């Protein structure tokens, strides 16, 4: 693994730059380490150059801390009332970040893969920059279609809650985070508390940015429905979604596949809105198969 910071986004890499490039985009508030080393290594061993990035306002990438603190409840009320408010950035800007990173590395084309919010960013990259996307893969993501089933209320409440400050009460913070991951995770497999505890602690050591996560929430909200964009995607597309996802219900994954020509939907039974280590090999195998087929189509 090589760790580098080029251009605006932080990233690290697996494999050799001579191989076809893959960009892995994390979800809301997530760090690039949400894509585990074993997962990245499995894909790079199949002959790919894997870049896992930190989005803006997360991890070791730049944070927009000059923006005023956000009151999410007040902002939601303004949106419902049709009032104007300051927007830090949109998902379109975050998609542009990915292209700028590729430009800085002199990579003309790449396979674009994203999870959750990162899957929405990936869709926009493939839609707005069709000549740069070799293929597209979304994992537990959505189109933002307002007609889709809503997230489970308790999950949204946990997501929007600020929770304990880890600088003041680390154990309370860890307990709250673990409760959230347990709630959204896969029920067909034992909950790997040690893995999630380690991920949370590693993320804290890299950067703790609740305001950055709020700004990302705003970006998702103001970007809205992606369907007008993604209907023009021609890149080979794989949609991976869990059957019991409580944040983006399965209908969200189906909606992506229904709005992209020839997209393939793979449903993982018992998977929620998380990819625990036990199912990472299955997901990586699906992705490698998808990438190989996309490469064959391009020849």
**Pick from 32-41, 84-93, 138-147: least confident:** 84-93
Residue with tokens 């889709």: 148
Q: How confident is the model at residue 5 (pLDDT cuts 50, 70, 90)?
A: very low
β-strands 49-53, 110-115: how paired? Answer: unpaired
Global pTM value: 0.95
Whole-number pLDDT of residue 161:
83
Tokens of 138: 């979304």
Helix (H) or strand (E) holding 24: strand 21-25
Whole-number pLDDT of residue 123:
98
274: CB partners within 8 A, 6+ apart: 140, 181, 184, 185, 186
Catalogue the E-assigned strands of 47-149. Answer: 49-53, 110-115, 133-139
Candidate CATH numbers 3.30.230.70, 3.40.50.300, 3.40.50.2300, 3.40.50.1820; the one for domain 2-150+209-298: 3.40.50.1820
Cβ(157)–Cβ(246) below 8 Å: no
Please state, for a pLDDT cut of 90, what percent of the chain lies above it: 83
Domain ranges of the chain: 2-150+209-298
Given CA atoms 116, 242, 199, 36 in this order, what sign does their dihedral have?
negative
- For residues 177-186, average pLDDT: 94
Question: For the chain, what is the mean pLDDT?
Answer: 93
Whole-number pLDDT of residue 7:
47
Sheet holding 133-139, edge to edge: 2-6, 9-14, 49-53, 21-25, 110-115, 133-139, 237-242, 264-268
**Pick from 20-34, 69-83, 227-241, 251-265: least confident:** 69-83
Write out pLDDT tens, residues 14-58.
Answer: 999 999 999 999 999 999 999 999 999 999 999 999 999 999 999
- The SS3 assignment for 137 reads strand
Q: How confident is the model at residue 244 (pLDDT cuts 50, 70, 90)?
A: very high
DSSP per-residue letters across 193-253: HHHHHHHHHHHHHH---HHHHHHHHHHHHHH---HHHHTT--S-EEEEEETT-SSS-HHHH
Q: How many whole angstroms separate alpha carbon 250 and alpha carbon 273? A: 10
Whole-number pLDDT of residue 1:
53
Please say if the pLDDT value at position 261 is more than 50. Answer: yes
Write out pLDDT tens, residues 97-131.
Answer: 999 999 999 999 999 999 999 999 999 999 999 99
Write out pLDDT tens, residues 124-136.
Answer: 999 999 999 999 9
207: CB partners within 8 A, 6+ apart: 31, 58, 59, 60, 63
């Amino acid at each position: 693994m090589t760790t580098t910071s080029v251009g605006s986004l932080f990233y690290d890499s697996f494999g050799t730059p001579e191989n076809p490039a893959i960009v892995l985009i994390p979800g809301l508030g997530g760090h690039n380490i949400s894509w585990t080393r074993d997962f990245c290594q499995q894909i790079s061993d199949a002959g790919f150059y894997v870049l896992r990035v930190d989005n803006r306002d997360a991890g070791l990438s730049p944070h927009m801390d000059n923006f005023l603190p956000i009151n999410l409840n007040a902002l939601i009320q303004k949106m419902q009332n049709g009032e104007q408010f300051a927007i830090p950035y949109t998902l379109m800007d975050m998609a542009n970040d990915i292209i700028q990173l590729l430009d800085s590395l002199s990579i003309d084309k790449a396979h674009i893969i994203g999870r959750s919010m990162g899957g929405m960013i990936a869709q926009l990259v493939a839609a707005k920059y069709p000549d740069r996307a070799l293929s597209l893969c979304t994992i537990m993501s959505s189109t933002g279609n307002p007609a889709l089933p809503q997230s489970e209320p308790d999950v949204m409440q946990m997501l929007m809650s600020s929770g304990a400050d880890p600088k003041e009460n680390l154990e309370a913070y860890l307990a709250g985070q673990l409760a959230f991951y347990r709630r959204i995770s896969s029920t067909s497999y034992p909950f790997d508390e040690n893995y999630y505890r380690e991920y949370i602690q590693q993320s804290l050591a890299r950067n703790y940015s609740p305001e950055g996560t709020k700004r990302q929430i705003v970006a998702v909200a103001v970007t809205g429905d992606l369907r007008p964009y993604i209907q023009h995607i021609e890149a080979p597309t794989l949609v991976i979604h869990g059957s019991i996802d409580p944040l983006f219900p399965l209908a969200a994954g189906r909606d992506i596949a229904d709005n992209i020509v020839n997209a393939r939907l793979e449903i993982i039974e018992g998977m929620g809105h998380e990819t625990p280590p036990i199912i990472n090999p299955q997901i990586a195998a699906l992705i490698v198969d998808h990438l190989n087929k996309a490469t064959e189509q391009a020849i």
